[in-house]
Amino acid sequence: MNKVIKFLATGFGVSSYAPHPGEGTIGTLAGVVIFVLWPDSRFHPNAFWMLLLVGLTMGVYVAGKAEEIFAQKDCPRIVIDEIMGFLVAVAFLPKTFWMIFLTFILFRIFDGLKPGPVRMAENLSGGWGIIGDDLVAGVFTNIIMQIVVLRFF
């Protein structure tokens, strides 16, 4: 079971190939791949809601267990949080190169700088603390990108 937890927590093993620091960026790129391959959330909202619901539920559990396995608080090898945070960030946005690119950059900024509520979410315990900051960063990113879409597209 530990191998499955590690496989999922490390973004299907991708964080093992990232230099440190850099795991968060590679984890976000794994989220990009999932978003590109998944049906467009604007045309298949139920499928995307299911992805988010299952992914976040599983992500909290997996992240918490992986933290125990790696014996390190918010271990950088755990990137399921970046994957799920990015999927929240791109939810219901147009699936275009520029939308994905801008969302990626903005999400990485929020995740890196951790303004106010993003940092507070990081203080939750276990898997919620690992996923929480990326989830809040994803929500902030999505709100800004939805405004961009309404204003400019």
Q: For 45-73, what is each residue's pLDDT tens digit? A: 999 999 999 999 999 999 999 999 999 88
**Across the chain, how many H-helices and E-strands are there?**
7, 0
pLDDT, residue 14, reads 86
What CA–CA distance (Å, rounded) separates 38 from 4? 22
Kindly indicate the confidence band of residue 42, based on its pLDDT and cuts at 50, 70 and 90. confident
What CA–CA distance (Å, rounded) separates 37 from 16? 22
pLDDT, residue 102, reads 97
Assess contact for 67 and 74: CB atoms under 8 A: yes
Name the nearest CA neighbour of 78 among 148, 146, 142, 5.
5
Kindly indicate the confidence band of residue 81, based on its pLDDT and cuts at 50, 70 and 90. very high
**Two tokens at 56?**
């976040």
| Cβ partners under 8 Å of residue 26, min gap 6 | 11, 14, 15, 17, 18, 79
